[in-house]
Amino acid sequence: MCTVTVIPTATGVYLTSNRDEHARRGRALRPEYVYGEGYTLLFPKDPDAGGSWIALKDNGDAVVLLNGAFTKHLRQPPYRRSRGLILLDVIAAHDPERRFEETDLEGIEPFTLILFVRGNLWEHRWDGIKKHRLLLDAAKAYIWSSVTLYDELEAREREQWFSDWIDQQHVQVNSEEVLRFHQYAGTGDVRNNLVMNREDKISTVSITSVYIAAGQLEMRYKDLQAGNDTEKIFVLPKSTATTIRNTGARKWWLSVRRMMIRIFHWEYWPAYLIYGPVYVYWLWLSIKARSLFFFSAANPGIRNAGFAQERKSEIYTLIPRQYYPKTQLCHSGTDPEIIIDQLKEETMTFPLIAKPDMGERGMQVKLLHSPADLDEYCRLSKVDFIVQEYIDYELEAGIFYYRMPGEKKGHISGIVGKEFLSVTGDGHLTIAALLEKQDRALLQLPALRMTLGATLNIVLPAGVSQVVVPYGNHSRGALFIDQRNRINAQLIDVIDAVCKQVPGFYYGRMDIKFKSWDDLNEGRHFSIIELNGAGSEPTHIYDPGHSLLFAWKEICRHWKILYSISRLNAERRGLSLMDITEGIKMLQQHTRHLKRVRQL
């Protein structure tokens, strides 16, 4: 319960734990089967508290415990219940992940649970005040060291041992090699080797390894005090093994479907494939402007004209306050409690929307339902971000606006309506199964499993609809519909009146949430969620009814407008266009920043 590894292989996954304990604690009982109502568990037992630090279930779920959460805590006994008993409660449940979320942990000593449930790998922590959960990549190998015994330097050293061992090409990962690593890894420092001993007061007393594969579930227990080994195997019914194999085949078929959807629907192609053929036109405009970055004078009021590296927080300060949601800038590393206090001062309440201050394509946008969600977002974010009040208007659209310098009135060149990714229940299928029926939703399913977890296993009543992804981003599964038919003189007047109040803004797209089209035409009940500049796409091109040729024409048409606006602004205001050195530096900084954003 003090050193844990998870090691996926081509055939299965290993979860292994080294248990470090005080000499005065009783010797654990070797693994035995425990039969419950509809399930069987296999686990070694702590004779003092009656719980366990690792357990395997007959359906292939498993759980392992580490003492402590993020930092070494000061023990304050007595505690209400043993952490080992909490572990058994969680793994015995039909939905272990939900059971953890619902369990009252007040008065329980801090701990970490590593849960392997239905092929998903979860890290759950209780720090004595809040619960934290994180869905990990089950295809990667991990090592944890208990914060109650190992400091950050020692934990990193162990991570290096583990990484070096994994990288050894001659190592054939199997039960014997995993146990060998857990028994002998180290530098000879008996205090900090994986099998450790600190003055005979606390030492590693056992190693337990679980192996989970199709048709094979086993637990190997090495009692280092008694010097004997125990091996227990679940004999799976034929139907269970068949189900596991069928699940593997089904996952393969879903992967094939996702690949075919992307191949035959250009709207899902990578940007470089969509834009590649029309970069010739960009080059032509660059030659005419004598600058590859001919756009740089298009929006003088926005950093880099809004092509890259622009900050949302800076853009909001240009927009009249009544037109956008309450917004709070949060710097990376700020204590969540400080942010919560700031939100209270602004009378901002949950739910809230969090997103990077510099980002694109809906990257790392998240709906926060509670302070715990905010705490997790703060802890994981490596960049500054903003928190906004959630606008619950039903409709959302992207309106592309431009105004030629010197003209009194601007234009709307495109409108895209956005339908959020949603499902309607039939009383039988889970949300995940309903999503699998939709091509658009199927592409999002792997990411949704990471963010929504057990929520996808809910069965909605017949006829009940639920929005699964409340974000109007194409990359997050929203359906984009070309609604240029909504353009009319009244709407142009409303949008033009707003945009002319934004200093130095001539070209870009506003993402707006609103109550109804009638209200928007009247200039009421709407909120600007984002304002994007020179880097804006005419997103109505992503309507599934449009061809790639149509998309190319619209992209070139908007680039021509962008070129004309930037050229006129440069001439009228005496502005210089961005040179090659400045432009490359901008793009390099933007690329590095996006890499940090993706780490969330």
pLDDT recorded at residue 167? 83
Residue bearing tokens 């050195």: 581
Is residue 476 within 8 A of residue 446, CB to CB? The reply is no
Burial class (CB in 10 A: 0-12, 13-18, 19+), 571: exposed
As its CATH architecture, domain 3-236 has 4-Layer Sandwich (3.60)
CA 600/CA 597 separation, integer angstroms = 6
pLDDT recorded at residue 198? 92
Statement: 326-390 belongs to CATH 3.10.105.10: no
pLDDT recorded at residue 450? 63
Beta-carbon contacts of 1 under 8 Å, excluding residues fewer than 6 positions away, are 17, 19, 20, 53, 54, 64, 65, 66, 67, 146
DSSP H stretches of helix in 265-356: 271-275, 279-289, 312-316, 336-345
pLDDT recorded at residue 505? 98
pLDDT recorded at residue 389? 96
pLDDT recorded at residue 369? 87
pLDDT recorded at residue 27? 84
**Cα atoms found within 13 Å of the Cα of residue 237, Cβ hemisphere only:** 7
- For 572, the token pair is 């009228």
Beta-carbon contacts of 230 under 8 Å, excluding residues fewer than 6 positions away, are 30, 31, 220, 221, 223
CA 310/CA 530 separation, integer angstroms = 12
Is residue 208 within 8 A of residue 230, CB to CB? The reply is no
pLDDT along the chain (600 residues), means of 10: 89 94 85 78 87 93 95 89 93 90 93 94 95 92 94 92 82 85 92 92 94 88 87 62 57 87 94 95 97 97 96 97 96 91 94 93 87 84 93 95 97 97 90 91 84 71 91 90 97 98 97 97 97 97 97 98 98 95 95 81
pLDDT recorded at residue 40? 84
Taking Cα atoms as reference points, which of 449, 144, 506, 140 lies closest to residue 318?
506
Q: What is the DSSP-derived secondary structure letter of residue 82?
A: -
List C-alpha distances in Å: 236 to 120, 211, 215: 20, 14, 6
Amino acid at 146: S
pLDDT recorded at residue 235? 55
Beta-strand runs (E) in 83-119: 111-117
CA 499/CA 299 separation, integer angstroms = 12
